[in-house]
Amino acid sequence: MNISVIGTGYVGLTLSALLAKVGHKVHCIDVIEDKIKTIKEGKSYFYELGLDNLVKYGIDSRNLTPTLNYEEGVKDADIIFLSVGTPSGADGGWDLTYIYDAVENAAKFMKDGVIFVQRSTVPVGTGKRAIEIIKKTNPKANFTYLSSPEFLREGSAVLDSIIQDRIVMGGDNEEKKKILFKIFEEIEKMAPQITEETPEIHEYASTYISNGGSKEGAFKDKCISTCLESAELIKVCSNTFLATKITFANNIARVCDRVGANINEVMDGVGMDRRIGRSFLYAGLGFGGGCFPKDVKGLIKSTEDLGVDAQLFKRVYELNESQVDYVVDCIKQMGVLGGSQVGVLGLSFKPGTSDVRVSPAGRLCKALSHEGFAVLATDPRAIEESKKDFPEDKNLKYVDTVEDVFKNSEIVVLATEWPEYKELDYERLSKLMKSKNFYDARNFLEKEKMNKIFKFDNLGA
């Protein structure tokens, strides 16, 4: 089929590359020239585990055509996927400017019979407005509009696309939904080949699945057909509920710090309840990235607009915002004084991605800098992005190596749980430090092992 994907972020580019891999002719559209130029070179302009291999295949096979031109990208499309960003607006709600601009631009050139599929995270009611825009822009158009929200985790977007939890399809045309379900089934059938061809995906697949990620299963059991409004709500509710689980674990970790309990033991016991589950009940620096903070704020705004109490969601957001300050206080309680040099391992909001949007690790660096600490931070993938979102200042500098982080530091803080940080030679690195203090803000490292090397502490454990 001829398919158009509007938007080349981690959702849109991953989808484009996978559709090209299974043999469809795909145009991916963006309005930023540098992004399209990089994709044409056969690589992603951001780091996402395993994505470069797929993009290269798409370009080499000529199944993937990046373009800035809506007419070129849309005119022959049987299906148009909309994967445009929905950043937070000034009022905390979603800014839908890019969504509606993309809908209007696509409507000008789309052919009769096209299936228009909304993949972006949007508030309920967006679909109805989009349909109105299409009809106004192209009154004679014959089209079907569906909402099919994505459920990808940055850092494992490829894996989550080929081994899916569920595929939601909202709208009133069941026959067109079947076409979309079939396309996603094609992608899932390619999972063994893709994991075999992509070493880093193969390496992490079992880890992600065992940690509560996507599960394999009968494909038909994953397909959910709903009305348009239900599909729009499912994604936002999912993200907010997961954010709530993270915040719940972080708040209980504070209790554990007070009474001497172990947050991992507590959450292991809680998570064994099948009604609750263990996934996302992990204490740390809090949630970040381009989805959870934005979606929680967006749900607060849309809930209030509907006249429904949003206090629960507000408190989730407020507690998450305070988690970085709590960790700063924990570092001070270890006896590390203002003005001391602090090393920080990790800047991206999670491992496997270069995304630093609303990153708790980046926010921690800025909070420490504001408190007067001299901060040296590094990351395997996200240094350049951090320089843009969390600019260097007189107290904050980014360095290229972990040795630079440890050298002469009073304390080192693990802020992003990159797998390579588990394998570091901490015995050797500790000898570079001024004082052997270490704080694990992700509860990622083995406490017994680290206690033999450092004056070690972690969150709620």
Q: What are 131-186's pLDDT values in tens digits?
A: 999 999 999 999 999 999 999 988 888 988 998 899 999 999 999 999 999 999 99
pLDDT at residue number 461: 87
State yes or no: is 291 an active-site residue.
yes
Evaluate if residue 214 carries a pLDDT over 70.
no
* pLDDT class of 407 with cuts at 50, 70, 90: very high
pLDDT at residue number 49: 85
CB 45 within 8 A of CB 68: no
Q: Which residue in the list 28, 256, 291, 330 is annotated as catalytic?
A: 291
CB 7 within 8 A of CB 84: yes
Q: Is 2-226's fold the same as 227-461's? A: yes
State the CATH architecture for 227-461: 3-Layer(aba) Sandwich (3.40)
Evaluate if residue 210 carries a pLDDT over 80.
no
Task: Tell me the pLDDT tens digit for each residue of 299-353.
Answer: 999 999 999 999 999 999 999 999 999 999 999 999 999 899 999 999 999 998 9
Q: Average pLDDT over the chain, rounded to whole?
A: 94
The mean pLDDT of 63-92, rounded to a whole number, is 96
Cβ-Cβ contacts under 8 Å for 281 (sequence gap 6 or more)? 245, 246, 248, 249, 267, 270, 271
Any idea where the domains of the chain sit in the sequence? 2-226, 227-461
State whether the Cα torsion 399-400-402-406 is positive or negative: negative
Task: Tell me the pLDDT tens digit for each residue of 93-140.
Answer: 999 999 999 999 999 999 999 999 999 999 999 999 999 999 999 999
Task: Tell me the pLDDT tens digit for each residue of 37-47.
Answer: 999 999 999 98
pLDDT at residue number 308: 96
pLDDT at residue number 213: 44
Q: Tell me how far apart the alpha carbons of residues 65 and 77 are, in angstroms, rounded to a whole number.
A: 12
> What class, spelled out in words, does domain 2-226 have in CATH?
alpha beta
Evaluate if residue 205 carries a pLDDT over 70.
no
